[in-house]
């Protein structure tokens, strides 16, 4: 739906990649379309931990001295990142903890 050839014989690389992803991973029953379960697995994969991914993102973006730990100063420096994060309930967790 996102790509129209419009007379162009060469397909962009992203279209080829998406087609491969669809055939190899997304269309699990190989019927040429994605059913409800296949779509659910694509959008919310069961083997992907969203909380862990968000926590890793927060540490990666905020840990300025790269010691694997966040100091109060590092968190305050990236306050906007934490306030916008689902991991902190969009900042609500920061209000409930005196150390922040």
pLDDT in tens, the chain (100 residues): 567 777 667 888 888 899 899 999 999 999 999 999 999 988 888 887 877 888 898 899 999 999 999 999 998 898 888 777 766 665 566 556 555 4
Residue 99 within a domain: no
The reply to whether 28 and 55 lie within a common domain is no
Q: Is 29 left (phi over 0), alpha (psi -120 to 50) or beta?
A: alpha
Q: What's the pLDDT at 84?
A: 75
At 14, give phi and psi (nearest 5°): -65, -30
SS3 at position 56: helix
The reply to whether 63 and 33 lie within a common domain is no
Q: What's the pLDDT at 89?
A: 64
Helix, strand, coil distribution of the chain in percent, nearest 5: 55, 0, 45
Total structural domains within the chain: 2
Per the structure, the complete domain to which residue 73 belongs is given by: 50-94
The reply to whether 59 and 88 lie within a common domain is yes
The reply to whether 58 and 34 lie within a common domain is no
| pTM score of the predicted model | 0.45
The reply to whether 59 and 31 lie within a common domain is no
The reply to whether 54 and 33 lie within a common domain is no
């Amino acid at each position: 739906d996102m790509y129209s050839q419009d007379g162009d014989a060469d397909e962009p690389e992203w279209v080829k990649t998406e087609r491969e992803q669809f055939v190899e991973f997304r269309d699990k029953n190989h019927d040429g379309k994605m059913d409800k379960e296949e779509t659910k697995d694509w959008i919310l994969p069961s083997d992907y931990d969203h909380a862990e991914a968000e926590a890793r993102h927060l540490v990666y973006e905020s840990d300025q001295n790269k010691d694997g730990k966040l100091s109060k100063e590092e968190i305050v420096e990236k306050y906007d990142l934490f306030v916008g994060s689902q991991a902190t309930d969009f900042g609500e967790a920061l209000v409930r903890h005196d150390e922040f």
